[in-house]
Amino acid sequence: MATGMLHSHYLFVVLFTLIYLIKTILLLSDKDELLEKFKKKTKIVEMIVSFGFLATGVFLLTQMPHIPSLMYVKVGLVLASIPLAVVGYKKKNKVLVTLSFFFIVVSFGLAQKVKKEKAGKIIAALSGKEIFEQKCVLCHGGDGKLGMSGAKDLSATALPHTGLVEIITNGKNTMAAYKSSLSAEQIEAVASYIETDLKGK
Ligand code: HEC
């Protein structure tokens, strides 16, 4: 349900931006007649698209367990762009229309940034688990408790994040250092995996 909504939202956003872009270009290049024609032809489509854009957007907001602060900026920009556009087109004011279009583009960019940050976190968590299963289970076991060749019980570790990273990077006694076989990001990812999935379990 939410994914379907997300796809409809993207579709509405793209259509909305496209109509908006054409109108902005026509106004900025003084093609008044063409602009009027275009506005007339797309009036109903634009109403449907704008409504769909806002309705799917509001629905998605209500589905988010936690609303990132960038999201407030984004919604604020979209809301601010609407009166700017209405007044701008009525008075044929190029500055207002450009500003309004600029707001929409920036808010679209912010949406992409929020998405990327989320995707980055999920990927880091996934690869942390994969790395652990490839390189660490031999001594530590899938649950961190195996203790082969004197390995410490990772579910009972008292080390803070930096301590985990330190030992994985430089090794300790029979545990080899991983600084040459894992990147700093991968070491961060395994350390996070230990903290979220093994520690205290
Ligand atoms: C060859 C066996 C071996 C492998 C493979 C191994 N470890 Fe270890 N690990 C140990 C031993 C032994 C210790 C205890 C070192 C000591 O304190 O003397 C240890 C300790 C640790 C500690 C410190 C825990 C604490 O509370 O002191 C962490 C964290 C750790 N290992 C993470 C990892 C991770 C992550 C991997 C995989 C990338 C890994 N280990 C692979 C043997 C291994």
For the chain, what is the domain count? 2
Same domain, 114 and 174: no
Write down the residue that tokens 């270009």 correspond to.
25
**What CATH number does residue 179 fall under?**
1.10.760.10
Instruction: With respect to residue 123, please indicate whether it lies within any of the assigned structural domains.
Output: no
Write down the residue that tokens 């609303």 correspond to.
67
Q: Is 41 in the pocket of ligand 1 (CB under 6 A)?
A: no
Residue 112 confidence (pLDDT): 75
Same domain, 101 and 150: no
Same domain, 17 and 98: yes
Instruction: With respect to residue 159, please indicate whether it lies within any of the assigned structural domains.
Output: yes
Is the sign of the CA dihedral 10, 14, 20, 21 positive or negative? Answer: positive
Q: Is 4 in the pocket of ligand 1 (CB under 6 A)?
A: no
Same domain, 13 and 103: yes
Residue 123 confidence (pLDDT): 63
Residue 124 confidence (pLDDT): 64
Same domain, 87 and 11: yes
Same domain, 47 and 80: yes
Atom of ligand 1 nearest to the CA of 157: 26
Instruction: With respect to residue 31, please indicate whether it lies within any of the assigned structural domains.
Output: yes
Q: Which residues pair with 175 in a beta bridge?
A: 172
Same domain, 86 and 30: yes
Which of 60, 85, 118 delimits the end of a domain?
Answer: 118
Low-confidence ranges of the chain (pLDDT < 70): 1-2, 65, 118-126
Q: Is 174 in the pocket of ligand 1 (CB under 6 A)?
A: yes
Instruction: With respect to residue 92, please indicate whether it lies within any of the assigned structural domains.
Output: yes
Q: Is 167 in the pocket of ligand 1 (CB under 6 A)?
A: yes
CB 78 within 8 A of CB 24: no
Residue 187 confidence (pLDDT): 93
Instruction: With respect to residue 127, please indicate whether it lies within any of the assigned structural domains.
Output: no
CB 200 within 8 A of CB 170: no
Same domain, 194 and 111: no
Calculate the alpha carbon distances from 138 to 14, 31, 110, 135, 163 in Å.
Answer: 50, 71, 43, 7, 21
Same domain, 156 and 68: no
Instruction: With respect to residue 89, please indicate whether it lies within any of the assigned structural domains.
Output: yes
Instruction: With respect to residue 79, please indicate whether it lies within any of the assigned structural domains.
Output: yes
| Segments forming the whole domain that contains residue 159 | 136-198
- Angle, nearest 10°, between helix axes 69-91 and 94-135? 160
Same domain, 100 and 145: no
SS3 for 164-195 is HHHHHHHCECCECCCCCCCCHHHHHHHHHHHH
Instruction: With respect to residue 129, please indicate whether it lies within any of the assigned structural domains.
Output: no
